[in-house]
Structure 1
């Protein structure tokens, strides 16, 4: 009997459901009574919010965009911070997560691609043990948002209800019904926001949008983000070398064809 009680005590306790911290929040943020929904009341900034507890490496932070507002450029920002929100004075929070809070504290965050998280969409984000910040919209492909998150200390989730994102609701991945299919509208919105290319920098698929995206791990960068994502979703193989695509990331600098030993260092590190 005693051994059974010890075994039960040693069993892993499920983590507390994520909620927004009640005090550490931007000047324009209003929380509901359950602290699961955060709404930005006015303007396009001052929408920073934190989780009430640290998040473990690999643990998914799931949220639904429940409010969208046109007229702004850019939307939801997500990331992680070593700032304990219990020790954060709300009036001291800057208006922006990126880059203000990142510059003022050990915080690592990124903006989701413009137009990819609209009202009703579910966003999951997490950091792995290598310090890479990932996100996923609905059941779409994983997005590598950034590297360099410093591990080895507690990390709280931090979000910025910014710009076109008006309100978000935290979800419990264990109990919420998350989407099983990615709406094609995600890629259509990406296409509409793509810039036209200057001569010599065209996407080799559509021939008119700017080549601004890199396929990982092969490193080919002659694609606009719309065409790159569509190839990733439909066939997951590079049109140039036929390597399997593992991620689609923004291309650093001007487009260039690179394979094998010519891979940029940051792509080689990913592989």
Structure 2
């Protein structure tokens, strides 16, 4: 009996199924599947017959460690969004008969013994062939059209029998289990005339500027062409190489940042130098991924990237506000990005950060404290997956940036006019030359020293008493008009 068990185990006998599955047997789909699935071609093709859900399928036998599951995308619908979810199940599909949920994620993955994740839609083009397998360490690796894409997710318990699991979801409405013994290269070459392998979206080509003959041999200007901001002279800039998000890679010139295909967060990049008041930063979206939601986050920080580590940057950029350094940001600055979109961020002399899309109207996304040097950072999050730093436009002449923000509370008694302010002090006050105001005076009463800081804009411009009154009245910072969330008392050493 013991010898028989060893023989059965060696040839792959599943005791629960009562079927002998030789190691070389091609994979088929299990007869237990979702209500909206129809199996054909010897149970190798699974088609979703209606709607976009209730289409979970399994392999008819357990798969082995490092055994590749090949899937060809037979048909692609344009009526839905998203693509297949795939992974593994440690539960025998027969135990799920009549009890399969609508979705693999999260209905099954929230239960023990199931592991799956959504495939990016760009990998699921018609006639493309993907494969995936699990390693002995529990890492699930996948590839497309013969090219390895790396680890898709981890944490699979390989001590148990594992069935392949696929949710025929979204636009991937017909899939086929391909026999790995067939030549993948031959199969792809036969399909090539019908549908070439998907290519990465490239940046839109911009015509080279026409040079006069006398200029053609001169020095190439240190400027970058922009489709929408051609009137701005964009000086070349680069992302900081010292620290980037865990899922980001930079090209050789550090001007293009790409988030990993299979991840949606931790896409942080920092400018290689601080942004001065009046300067503008322009970026271009090169590639998007519609499988995800959310988009770019833009912010300014007083932190030096050389003192940061990739592992210390959170998945949610809003958690940066809890760090000890100065951070201010706005999420989803571009709700629905498309390839070729250009975004211009301008740090005004009054601390207002303006955002413009494709040379459209400016809108204020947040206010920053310009009394300290700050460096721009971007979180390439969600839909946006690849961006290009076009450059930085220098500040215009100061007269074109005269601050227009008015103080919401006027002094209660006559007082001398404030002296002129540089961008590093108080740019939002009236600019004048005949003033005797000391920089440390409260801008409301002009009598007491500044002894508090406003949260969350960070301005230190009032005494504690006036700040509390301002908080209870208009509730806005008199410098940048940002909402006062709290008044924090400060003390000198």
Distance verdict in 2 for CA 1:172–1:37, change over 3 Å: same
Q: 1:166-211 CA distances to partner (integer Å, 9 max, x unpaired)?
A: 11110111124343799563423x989xxxxxxxxxxxxxx99xxx
Distance verdict in 2 for CA 1:84–1:125, change over 3 Å: same
1:252 and 2:261 equivalent? no
Question: Residue 198 of structure 2 aligns with which residue?
Answer: 185
If asked which structure has higher relative contact order (CA below 8 Å, sep 6+), I would say: 1
The runs of 5 or more residues in structure 1 that have no matched partner are: 1-9, 193-206, 209-217, 232-237, 242-246, 266-271
Match of 1:114 among 115, 118, 121: 121
Match of 1:264 among 311, 327, 338: 311
Question: Residue 20 of structure 1 aligns with which residue?
Answer: 29
CA deviation after TM superposition for structure 1 residue 58, in Å:
0.8
Distance verdict in 2 for CA 1:240–1:151, change over 3 Å: farther
Measure the CA separation in 2 of the matches of 1:260 and 1:134.
33
**Superposition map of 1:70-149 within 5 A:** 70-89=78-97, 91-149=98-156
- Asked whether the equivalents of residues 65 and 121 of structure 1 are also in contact (C-alpha less than 8 Å), the reply is yes
Distance verdict in 2 for CA 1:259–1:78, change over 3 Å: farther
- Number of equivalences: 218
Measure the CA separation in 2 of the matches of 1:11 and 1:259.
56
Alignment TM-score, normalising by the size of structure 2 = 0.39
The runs of 5 or more residues in structure 2 that have no matched partner are: 1-9, 13-21, 205-225, 228-241, 255-259, 271-304, 313-493
- Asked whether the equivalents of residues 83 and 106 of structure 1 are also in contact (C-alpha less than 8 Å), the reply is yes
Alignment TM-score, normalising by the size of structure 1 = 0.68
Q: 1:63-87 CA distances to partner (integer Å, 9 max, x unpaired)?
A: 1000110121111111001011122
**Superposition map of 1:192-231 within 5 A:** 220-221=244-245
Match of 1:56 among 44, 58, 64: 64
- Asked whether the equivalents of residues 74 and 115 of structure 1 are also in contact (C-alpha less than 8 Å), the reply is no
Measure the CA separation in 1 of the matches of 2:36 and 2:152.
26
Measure the CA separation in 2 of the matches of 1:105 and 1:75.
23
Moved over 4 A (4+): 10-13, 180-184, 256-261
- Asked whether the equivalents of residues 246 and 266 of structure 2 are also in contact (C-alpha less than 8 Å), the reply is no
